[in-house]
Amino acid sequence: MEKNNFQKQNTYVSEEEKTLNWEEIQKSFKNTFGTEIYNSWLQKISLIKEYNDFLILGVPTRFFRDWIVSRYLDKILEEVKNFKLSLNRIEFKIIEENNQPSEVLKLNEISKITEIKDSIVNYNRLNPNLSFANFIQGKSNDIALSYSKKVCEHLSRYNPLYVCGGVGLGKTHLLNAIGLELQNENNVMFISAERFMYHFIKSIKKNDMLNFKDFFRKSSVFIIDDIQFISGKESLQEEFFHTFNSLMDKGSQIIISADRVPMKLDRVQDRLKSRLSGGLVVDIDLPDVDLKSKIIKKKILEIESQFKESINLNEEVINFIASESKTNIRELIGVLNRVIAFSRVNNKILNISDCKKILKDAFSQTKVITVDKIQNVVSNFFNIALSEMLSQRRSRPLARPRQVAMYLAKKMTTRSLPEIGRRFANRDHTTVIHAVKTITRLSEQDDEMKKNINQIKSLLLEQ
Ligand code: ADP
Ligand code: MG
């Protein structure tokens, strides 16, 4: 019985949903991308279907789609995530207007075609806002920040620099800042692993691998974001391994980000993992309240200067938002935007109880944490099979993750101890108590354990 239940919940089905207000999102596109880009491109995107984890967006032509995908996709996804955290993918559908073939482009688009020399070049844009100057230092990112700066001063001394940490903690921001710092005097390539794959596949299809290799190997600073994406993709790993080696051979600086340390990368060749950890690995932890408050204040100043308006959030409200937002900085900024939007629309200075209400709405659509989910995330995190984690075997590599999962089940769900015991292959509630005690003690004494618990929590809250 239990087992069947498991399997059912394990198969993740995307359900159609309607929670997004597309007009509101369009407004945020306009703010983020600026009027010019908005008017020529983003305004024409429509929402066709919304699922719990992805969106289908409508665009007028194929050309239009390629343009958007090659230049704005990551940012669009980041933006819509502010409205719905569970989204992780966007698909496009071409809606042909008046039955015109999609190749027939409008005049204003034709003028833009000449700008596309190479979609890779177009994508390799750094965001001027994600600079060191705009990156706030805190306890959780101190080391990552200082080595990111050092890399800029001494190219190739720390090679590769590998920045890791959970989602929304500032990895892309730091990588982008390094790119900005170095771009004037170096040939900087900045790309996400996902884009790297997109070009890789495109080049294979077009039988154009030579160009691909050439293009990526000529950079003197190669920055690749979210390398965990290569998990399980053998041929991509192969290609990346060669790119990596040839860049290292010619002394290029490589900077990499990922959601975990190299050795924990799942389904990645060992030789690649060892290359990735061959330089310096730095990580970013969850922010504390102090850093979160500083970021909120900085964001408020940015918005005030950008929109020439004053935003009235008092210290108490700022602290409240900072301590209430528990997952990551991206979410924190999303919540802040909601609060500001609310105060704009209602033209009022917000107090704590308004904020409570807004935050409640903001958080309510996400995060129903179940024992099943905890078990899945924990077993994935520690790279062991779920069945093994639940088995009766007592070896340390299985017992610890099992205890972590029990501990989190106690802390993050409302299940009772006996119920939790039952969900772990019918164990006794005293076993659960023992697990909770052990992990509580370890997470106080052992930094590694503390960090693991935090990362798993943020994975759970993010999903
Ligand atoms: P990641 O790549 O780790 O998922 P991002 O770099 O995209 O996270 O960061 C998420 C958001 O939080 C971005 O808007 C980024 O500018 C902001 N952010 C993260 N850390 C900081 C920081 N220390 N100071 C200012 N903004 C930050
Ligand atoms: Mg990122």
Q: Cα(267) to centroid of ligand 1, in Å?
A: 27
Q: What angle do CA 199, 114, 194 make, to 5 degrees?
A: 15
Nearest residue CA, atom 6 of ligand 1? Answer: 170
Q: Which ligand is nearest to the CA of 332?
A: 1
Nearest residue CA, atom 25 of ligand 1? Answer: 135
By three-state DSSP, how is residue 222 classified?
Answer: strand
Task: Say how far apart CA 354 and CA 53 lie, in whole Å.
Answer: 29
Would you state the pLDDT for residue 155?
Answer: 96
Would you state the pLDDT for residue 7?
Answer: 34
Pocket probe for ligand 1: among 172, 173, 175, 298, the residue whose CB has the most ligand atoms within 8 Å is 173
Q: Which ligand is nearest to the CA of 285?
A: 1
Q: Cα(257) to centroid of ligand 2, in Å?
A: 8
DSSP label at 51? B
Report which ligand 1 atom has the smallest distance to the Cα of 259: 3
Report which ligand 1 atom has the smallest distance to the Cα of 226: 2
Would you state the pLDDT for residue 179?
Answer: 96
DSSP label at 261? -
Q: Cα(438) to centroid of ligand 1, in Å?
A: 34
Nearest residue CA, atom 9 of ligand 1? Answer: 170
Mean pLDDT by 10 residues, the chain (463 residues): 36 65 91 84 90 86 78 86 83 67 39 37 73 96 98 96 95 97 94 88 86 89 95 92 96 96 93 96 95 95 83 89 87 88 81 84 65 94 93 92 96 88 94 96 92 89 69
Would you state the pLDDT for residue 329?
Answer: 94
Would you state the pLDDT for residue 112?
Answer: 36
Pocket probe for ligand 1: among 330, 332, 337, the residue whose CB has the most ligand atoms within 8 Å is 330
Print burial letters for 61-98: b (CB count within 10 Å at least 16), e (below 16): bebbbebbbbbbbbebebbbbbbbbbbeebebeeeeee
Ligand 1, CB within 6 Å, residue ranges: 130, 134-136, 141, 165, 167-173, 295, 329-330, 333
- Sheet of 188-192, strand order: 188-192, 221-225, 253-258, 161-165, 280-284
Q: Cα(386) to centroid of ligand 2, in Å?
A: 28
Q: Which ligand is nearest to the CA of 335?
A: 1
Give the pTM. Answer: 0.61
Helix or strand (DSSP H, E) at 241: helix 234-249
Would you state the pLDDT for residue 362?
Answer: 64
Cβ contacts of 11 within 8 Å, gap of 6 or more: none
Nearest CA among 22, 70, 28 for reference residue 46: 22
Q: Cα(348) to centroid of ligand 1, in Å?
A: 28
- Residue 383, Ramachandran bin (φ over 0: left; ψ between -120 and 50: alpha; else beta): left
